[in-house]
Amino acid sequence: MAPRVAVVGAGVSGLSTAVLAQQKIPGLDVTIISDKFSPNTTGDISAGLWFPHCLQNTTSDNIYRWSSKTYERMLELWQSADADEAGICLVPKLELSENYEPEQEFWSKIPLAFQSIDTAQTCKLTGTHKYKSGILFMTFTLQQSRYLPYLTRKFLLNGGKIQQHKVEQLQDLCGQYDIVINCSGVHARHLVGDTAVAPIRGQVKAPGLFLCYGEQATDGSYVIPKIVILGGTHQQGNWNTNPDPQDTKNILDKCHQLIPALKTAEIISNRAGLRPGRTSVRIETEQLGVKKYEVIHNYGHGGSGVTLSWGCAHDVINILQNILSSSTSIKSKL
């Protein structure tokens, strides 16, 4: 009997981890368990943009490593025959700042064609003197309403299993599976009692745009081409998933300032979701119960779930491989 692994959570982190586990460890028996699958996850309404951010107490070295691994994976996917099915696009990203000296991005060597933009160039690009500097680079957008189903199909075709129900506590899975991987996102606060996890509420509005625009600010505006996604909000501790009319107005006003042409765009949908905020990304093992069942945690990515997804999955699979190779009882199943 093959080792049995349960992945809790069907967002981009859970699906990436499950698919990579199948690739790296042939013969593994993997089951994804979640009460929500695409198109009903927070990830389905996310911007799906590769763009690294500092995440409180998570080291820049880790963010660089995880982001780099994900960028490499996205480049491979974009160059493959699966690109259209996966909903991936290579696009230029323009990030604007009201400061004369833009932030020095520690990740600037990762993306293709990274360059700084001076005041004269920002004026030409935006038609306004509001912005003093910026950065321009090639990045990827992943249309989550296509990418998450793509990963799910890939997982099932490789022999994976799916169970749709809510996991009340991880201990309920111990005994049924040899190892549990916790990718429960913001719900880890209740699932494992992690009070360091808090929701960061985000709201977006979906109205030929082929350039990603961004603004350096706490609630920085962004415009992502696909069906064009406008955002956003960054509201710590807010569990409300219903769109707020004032947030909607603020998003539209700020994005119209960035791109006036959007004023005539048709509004298709208006949605809000909860990013899994935490003081730091959690990737580590824990042993539960008297029999010390192995759990690997992978959550707390904030608004960088897509950016860190493949890199974090690699770290999780490395831990998984170490557990499998060191545990006599589990190793005998391989």
For the annotated binding site for D-dopa, the residues are 222, 275, 303
The answer for residues whose C-beta is within 8 angstroms of residue 6's C-beta and 6 or more apart is 30, 31, 32, 33, 173, 176, 177, 179, 180, 181
The answer for residues whose C-beta is within 8 angstroms of residue 183's C-beta and 6 or more apart is 7, 8, 9, 11, 13, 14, 17, 298, 299
Distance CA 210, CA 225 (A): 6
The answer for residues whose C-beta is within 8 angstroms of residue 119's C-beta and 6 or more apart is 100, 131, 132, 133
Please report the DSSP string for 54-77 in residue order: --TTS-HHHHHHHHHHHHHHHHHH
- CA pseudo-torsion sign 315, 318, 323, 324: positive
CA torsion angle 76 42 293 22 (round to 10): -20
Give 244: exposed, middle or buried? Use CB within 10 Å, 0-12, 13-18, 19+.
middle
Q: What is the CA radius of gyration of the chain?
A: 20
Determine contact, residues 100/119, Cβ cutoff 8 Å.
yes
Per-residue burial over 81-117, b = 16 or more CB atoms within 10 Å of its CB, e = otherwise? eeeeebbbbebebbbbbeeeebeebebeebbeebeeb
Instruction: Provide the annotated binding site for FAD.
Output: 47-49, 167, 302-307
Instruction: Provide the annotated binding site.
Output: 47-49, 167, 222, 275, 302-307
Beta bridge partners of 223: 213, 230
With H, G, I as helix, E, B as strand and everything else as coil, classify residue 320.
Answer: helix
Give 2: exposed, middle or buried? Use CB within 10 Å, 0-12, 13-18, 19+.
middle
